[in-house]
Amino acid sequence: MKRIISISVAAIIMMAFLLTSCKKDYVTGGSPENINKYKDSTTYDVLNGNPMYDTLVQVIDAAGLKDKINAGGTTFFAPNDNSILQYLEARTVFVQQHYDQNAKFALDSLKYYLRNNINGTRDSLLMYQVNASLTYSALNNVGKIYPTSLTGDSVIVSFEQTTDGNLGYTDLVSQAPQIVYFTQLWGHYDISKSNPANKVPDNVGVRNLVKTSGIVTKNGILNLLDNSNKLFFYDTKQ
C-alpha cells in the first residue's frame, strides 16, 4: 500500500480509514490527497511552496545546496522553520554569554556562516540527506543505519509501530499505525532486534519524529521532521 503519512489529531479517524482502504491517497489535516501530487516537482520546489519551510529554503540557498538537495535517488529529512528559530535563539544565548551581552545571532548571521562555510556550517546541512530513496518498503521497526551526505556522519531511519493516541493510534483499527523516526548518531551503535532504534542512548544519538513521511518527489523522497530538535541537533551532542 502506498501512502504518505502525515500526523495530526484531526486526521486520526480519516487515517484509520485510509490505511485500510485506499491505495492512492495520503492524509494532510484530515483530507486525502493524491500520492502523485508532487511527483513532477523537485524536493526543493516542494519545500519552496510551503510557508513552514521558507526559512529552510533561504538556508539551502545561502549554502548553495539546491542541486545537492535535488540529487536523484535521495531522501531529505527537512527541519522546519521553527527548528531554525530555536537554533538562532540558542546561538544568541551562547554569544551573549561568551562574547557580547548585546549580540544577536540572527538569520543573517547564519547565512553568513553558510556562505563562508564557517566551522563547517554549510556541510552540516547535509546531515539531513540520505543517499537512497527510502520508501516504506525499505524501512522496518528495528531501524537501519545509513550514511548521510555529510562526510563521516550516519543516521538511523526506522518505521515503528505506535500506541500513542497523539500519533494516530486508536482502538478502532486492528493494526497499530507506524511512524517514521530519524535518529542522528553521535557515536557508534550496534543496531539489532535487541538494540533497536528506540533504545539508542542519549549520549549516542538523538531521535526526531517525522511528522509527514513518504512524499514522492521528482528526484526522491521528502520527509518533514517535527520541531522537537533545533537545527543541526544543536546542544544534543554529549
pLDDT reported for residue 164: 73
Query: CATH assignment of 38-233?
Result: 2.30.180.10
Q: What is the pLDDT of residue 238?
A: 74
Residue 90 or residue 14, greater confidence: 90
State the SS3 of 79-139.
CCHHHHHHHHHHHHHHHHHHCCCCCCCCHHHHHHHHHHCHHHHHHHHHHHEECCCCCHHHC
pLDDT tens, residue by residue, 131-148: 999 999 999 999 999 999
Enclosing H/E stretch for 57: helix 54-63
Separation CA 40–CA 156 (nearest Å): 28
Mean pLDDT on 215-222: 95
Identify the helix (H) or strand (E) that includes residue 54: helix 54-63
Residue pair 33/15 in contact (Cβ under 8 Å)? The answer is no
Examine the pLDDT at 6 and tell me if it is beyond 60: yes
Domain residues of the chain, as ranges? 38-233
Closest CA to 155 of 120, 119, 187: 187
What Rg, from alpha-carbon coordinates, does the chain have? 18
Phi, psi of 120 (to 5 degrees): 70, 20
pTM summary value: 0.85
Q: Which amino acid belongs to residue 157?
A: V
Q: With CA atoms as reference, report the closest residue to 16 among 122, 165, 117.
A: 165
pLDDT, one tens digit per residue, over 171-205 is 776 677 789 999 999 999 999 999 999 999 999 99
pLDDT-based confidence at residue 23 (cuts at 50, 70, 90):
very low
In tens, the pLDDT along 162-174 reads 877 777 667 776 6
Mean pLDDT of 201-214: 94
